Structure 1
Amino acid sequence: MSPAETFCFGGIGILALLAQLIINYDVLMKKTSGKVTLKNVSYRRFLFGTLFYYVTDILWGYFDEMKFVKMLYADTVLYFLAMGLLVMLWTSYTTDYLDEKDLFGKITKGAGQLFFALAPPMIVVNFFTPVLFDISDYDNRDKLLASFDDMIELNRAPELVELAAGMAVFNSGKDSSFSEVFERADRKMYDGSVFSKPSAGDRPANSIQR
């Protein structure tokens, strides 16, 4: 996501959050006149759920732009929890507002509660097997490669296993085939900063090229 896209993404969320706070200030701060009813309570809970959702949505764009992968993952977890909570609060509010006390109302409210109840176990499963979302390390490829090089450099002193790595990214304005990208990555592997690829006769037994 480009900085402009992040600004637009976060800006929309901030505007929506501010509009929600301004329009529903009296409800959120309990400054409404009249008797407090179940409808009022349900609506207020729904508003707080909406605010929670907006905050996670705004933070997601910021963490994505700053490449804070761990924070992005944590915020995405909260985002899905907020989504489940919002569905439950919305079904609760609509049934209370319409005064649906029949079977339809019970099913609607129960469906919202079930939706929210499924969110935590699905998030736990997602930690081991992505079923809801996956945070890709593609955007952090340069940092990951640098960390890899640092580790190999540390392995050189005690004569541990050494590897050479090269990476290239497809450029639509320059590359016309996969082989061109592969060849560029291969050259970077040979000219890597960790160690130059030795000839077959001089190659140490514990070196590996990938």
Structure 2
Amino acid sequence: MLQDLLLSVQSKLDNTKTKKTGFDNATNNRRNAFTDLRSLSTKIVNAYSVSGADQLGINNMKSVNRKIQGSPSKKSNVQAEEQQPETKQISNSQQSYDKMVDHFSGIIEILVQNPSYSPNENDLKITALQNKLSDLKTKNTELIDSYTQYSNAMLERNQLMYNPLSGLLQTAKEVKLYVKSVFGASSPQYKQISGIEFKVRKGDK
């Protein structure tokens, strides 16, 4: 029984590490995909402003671009929120990225409705921007999926380790008590295991 519990815990720990790596990779991939979005949006606004669009359309475009640019504090918060995978931080960060995707989609919609927008730069053409939007959505979805897998792995690990009735920590306490009751508090058998410490790791719960 104890050997089976040990093997199960080791399996859950390995699985959690694997899912954490996947989550970290997805986080980096998404961050890289969004790195140039603010500068790209500014380039789009400049190209749109000289495309022959009416002033109202230009004002709308600038308004959406301001939402993408955000404030300096918001820019730093998006990165800070991803440093640790706590649910609240991930949720806040996700909202930030979701909004940026929505705003960028809004910019493309404005361009589509303006037939005079026809830039020479390939990266500013509507098709390229639509591909960019698709990539942003994909990277965003991949991170959501990877975090869900990582979160589930942590829950399974914690349940096996910290369940108050059958978890590893509780089982270790009961084993110590059993050895103490059978061999005595001053016995070599009990002294051999009494100093082994089991505790909840910071960040696990």
Q: Relative CO higher for 1 or 2, CA cutoff 8 Å, sep ≥ 6?
A: 2
TM-score band, normalised by the shorter chain? 0.3 to 0.5
Structure with bigger helix share is: 2
If the length of structure 1 is used for normalisation, what is the TM-score?
A: 0.37
TM-score by length of 2: 0.37
